[in-house]
Structure 1
Amino acid sequence: MAPVAAPVVDLGGNEKGSTDWFDQALADIGAPAPAPITLNDDLSMPVDAIAAQEPDLILSTFSGLAAQDYDKLSEIAPVVMYPDQAWSTDWRTSLDIAGRALGRPQKADRLRIETEQAIAQAKTAYPDLVGTSVVWGWIEEGDPPGLGMYTASDVRVRLLEEFGMTMPGYVNALENVDFEAHVAGAEARNVDADVFVCQSGGDDLAALPGIGQMPAVRSGATVTLTDWSLSQPMQFPTPLSIPVAIEEFLPPLNEAAAAAKQSG
């Protein structure tokens, strides 16, 4: 059993428009590369391209699949949707849903246990993460620049919490936000995170009004991502990507957490 089609990974993917861990998993079972699927310009699903692959099942547990696309895809094969909010299904729920849909719930349980053990071991290997608050965000264009942040609904943040990190009080107190929030540059000084993971626009954080006064920036407890490859295994966490995140993403994150603790 293997996928006949899969979405193209534009941000942080490899030269094949995929990820190394996904490609390796296919190689391990001797499966060919699935047909690459790219969203239409209006972000709707390319129904004809999917139908051409003649799938028996369409998994869409972590997506923003709209109702009209669901109806069209359901004419091709059964569609397994996300259970609640778009783009917010955590890795355990996705794994459980996929395991049941594919008739392999016991294998899904084994993968869950193995992944949870890896996460627990990571907390021991990177103790500075535990109890350290973190905000994952990006710099938004403007005069002065603003700050965008992922909230507790985002899967990246929830995985960081599994590694023992916490959300800062400022972000937790925000109301009427989805999985991301936006604040003006001057207000950013109040984002009281110990560590700042900056997804983009972080070339000279200390020089930015407001943002330069964030506690994490003042103490040098930042992880600036120059491209999406380092953070890709955290973007859509799965039992395949989480071990990669532990190996590649957690070391610089732990260094930033250690810097925050040393600064007092």
Structure 2
Amino acid sequence: MTDEDVAPEQGELAITRTGDRLRLAREAAGLSLADVATRTRITQRHLSAIEKSDFSELPGRTYVTGFARAYARAVDLPEAEVGAAVRRELEEDAYGARPLYEAYEPTDPARLPTARMTWTLVIVALLLASAYGVWRFLSVEPGEALVAAQNRAAEESEAPQSDVVALPANKAGTTPSAVAANAPVVLTGISEVWIGFDDAAGKTENWRTLDPGETYQVPPEYIQQFTLRTSIPQALKVTVGGRDVGAIGPADTLVKGVSLKPADLLARTEGNSAPGAAAPATRALPKG
């Protein structure tokens, strides 16, 4: 037997794997790997692995056979025969030791976000949530609480007012008219004016803006627990039981610590604070 007689037989034996058969059929049909991928909806990476008979690159044993059969249909080869050949090759390669199921298309680790990016997104989300919470706190006035307090004050104001408090004498030696201890304290905006209510520590717990002509009856619990502050005293009218107490501070000056108790407010009608009571703090506002 000569070398010439052996060569053809070796050439035929060289094509023993199913992947080679599929590749040759594709090339004979004039198709590219991308064309087969379009027809089968299988990624080119997996089709290339089938052509190389490198089944370890494929998701799982069941998918290897299915992919090979789909490839065979795309290049007009008998899919049952190709499927059987692939199963034999899997057994020969001891492929059965691999898990029977994996995800169809494992996620490419390069596409997963890095730990730094993940933490960055988490921090950004927390900052946005915090900013929204601050915005809501600063932009929303204490509407429901104030409305409820006003309703309670309105109900209480309808009750008979029997408790009367005598006001202390002022420096002029005269005593302002007696006033009911629960006389309503009403704030009216002469022009647009901002008002706030400070607790004993000087912290502003509640605030609101009065439009021109808008009135606000101070709830009884506010009278006992808070003091008044405003930055435009001349734009605010304060009345106790319908009686105007006059200016509560110099114009365009931040005034705070103004007692809301009827006796202290009416003591201002003579131009002086009640004896022993601390005068409200003022701070001139910058002009312009």
TM-score w.r.t. structure 1 length?
Answer: 0.21
TM-score (norm 2): 0.20
Higher helix share: 2
